[in-house]
Chain A
Amino acid sequence: MNGDHDAFTLGPLETGPACCVPQPAVQVRNLSLCYDGKTALDTITLDIYKGCITALIGPSGCGKTSFLSAINRLTDLIPRCSVTGRILIGGQDIHHPRCDIQALRRRVGMVFQKPVPFPLSIRRNLSLPLNEHGVTRKNEAAGIIERVLHDVGLWDEVHDRLDAPALSLSGGQQQRLCIARALALNPEILLMDEPCSALDPIASGVVEDLICRLQGRYTIVIVTHNLAQARRIANYAAFFWVRERAGQLVEFGRCQHIFESPRHELTAAYVNGNRG
């Protein structure tokens, strides 16, 4: 399944862009996920590479959101959801009983499909999670807030009204605020569940540019129904499909291969818009 990158990697390179040296940041092994006894994800095995953007594509209901929530163990909050199999992040099993779940979720940030700003001020939205993770000094927090707002290109728009309610922002600004909030915790991995689907094309373009700028600094997993977008921004793509109500991984590989020379006919039909 991941043979196509071995073909051109001659050996571990010490320098150079991270994508040339595929190093797994997340290793998913035989992951199955059930809601109420019904299988939603069926034995997924997949590596997500450090510093790269991995796009998850596939029809609605094939378990992309479920897959993302399994990576930061948000599935723990969903009643009657059971996860089997192993997920290793940096070589550590996240289901290990001694795994610190708060620390895990700090390492693995998540951005939801619909922006969820807290009903607090813009500043408090960013400082609340920071305080929770031990950043309590005012100017340290202020520095981080300014940096992440610059990162998401929101600083110029909001720097003079940081104490305004976050709900007064537009949808696209709210989504960028949520991305900034996730970035403020300095995660290694960023999970993004259709971050542009609720946005207009312009806001969506801004977020897309942002994701491209984050490439290399963060390991990004992005779910998207916009195949053109996946093709533009992703280094790797994973194609999920539903068989007998259970989501399965059909094909995983470099984005180019998935879109131009897929090995599986389902993938070919889906990316060419014939199915799904």
Chain B
Amino acid sequence: MMLSVSVRQRIRDFSLQSLMYLAVLLVSAVFVWLLADLVQGGMAHLSWAFLTESPRDAGRAGGIASILVSTLLILLIALAAAVPLAWATAVLLAEFVPIDSRFGSAVRFSLYVLAGVPSIVFGLFGNAFFSIYLGLGFSILSGGLTLACMLLPILTSTAEAGMRTVPDTYRLSAAALGMTRTTALIHLIFPAAAPVLAAGLLIGIGRALAETAALLFTSGYVDRMPGSLLDSGRALALHIFDLSMNVPGGDMPAYAAALVLVSLLLGINSLAMAFAHGLQRRCILT
């Protein structure tokens, strides 16, 4: 009797474990397959010239230099607009508003909703507001600002969570030493929360790099080297989309561009992981 129970339990344990391993295997297989496909398709076309030349013949020839510059500019504008706003909101939510206040919950709720809005809707909104209403047209500026709206929720919620991981005892001790909240924030809370802030930032950058739909109607798809922020500029993800959907014979450069994009994302995500890991180690230490 005893034996059969324990055998049954062991079988159950074993099958559960096998299922879990199978799931893990499937997930990693998808990733590896995707990566292998990209490398196989794109490696041949990838070269130093591909990275340093501008596209010719709708992208069939030439490289992606102008695309990389546009992507970078859009990203910089998005971060410059979103990071100060998001972190200021996070400071307000984490430090100055009681956690169960109506105001705080309302802000948090609207951020959740914003996080769930499909990016094409952001694109339409950005087109109506930045391009048409504010008269920025199809430009890197309106694309960057649209992306900024998209990044607000993720940046705010990670920053708020990061500041909440800082124990309250620091705030009380700092106050008991006659330090102002600003000093405590700058010298204690921000440094302690920095790994989470950085991780959030990197996740945000990853999202921004991968974005296509929100940029379609805002920064446009002109593939020339942008002369100013008010020029239209084509983002990398959009370039891939255009090459594979609209340009017959664009498959090879599309693969190569996708390989570049995925390598960038991989690099950024590993950085984010490293930061998160560093934070964990610090939490255990303290």
Contacts and interface: CB of A to CB of B under 8 A. Distances in A.
B286 A110 contact: no
Interface residues of B, number: 21
Contact of A132 (B169, B171, B176, B177): B177
Interface of B: 98, 169-180, 183, 187-188, 191-192, 282, 285-286
A119 B285 CA distance: 10
4 nearest CB pairs, A to B? A105-B178, A110-B176, A129-B177, A106-B178
A105 B286 contact: no
A112 B187 CA distance: 20
A77 interface: yes
Range of interface residues on chain A? Answer: 20 to 34
Nearest to B285: A167
A271 to B, nearest CB: 30
Given A103-B178, A129-B178, A167-B286, A116 B183 contact: no
B170 A105 contact: no
Contacts of B180: 102, 132
B98 A79 contact: yes
A101 B175 CA distance: 9
Given A109-B176, A132-B179, A77 B171 contact: yes
B178 A185 contact: yes
A132 B173 CA distance: 14
A132 B170 contact: no
Contact of A118 (B98, B170, B178): B170
A182 interface: yes
Given A118-B188, A167-B285, A181 B171 contact: no
Interface in A64-118: 72, 74, 77, 79, 101-106, 109-110, 112, 114, 116, 118
Given A102-B178, A102-B180, A112 B98 contact: no
Contacts of B192: 119
A19 interface: no
A133 B177 CA distance: 9
B176 to A, nearest CB: 4
Contacts of A133: 178
A128 B179 contact: yes
A72 B169 contact: no
A132 B178 contact: yes
Contacts of A178: 173
Given A102-B180, A132-B183, A77 B175 contact: yes
30 contacts: A77-B175, A101-B178, A102-B178, A102-B179, A102-B180, A103-B178, A105-B175, A106-B178, A109-B177, A112-B169, A112-B172, A112-B173, A112-B176, A114-B169, A116-B170, A116-B173, A118-B173, A118-B188, A119-B188, A119-B192, A119-B286, A120-B188, A128-B183, A128-B187, A129-B177, A129-B179, A132-B178, A132-B180, A132-B183, A182-B176
A74 B177 contact: no
Contacts of B286: 119, 167
A74 B172 CA distance: 7
Nearest to A104: B178
A166 to B, nearest CB: 11
Nearest to A129: B177
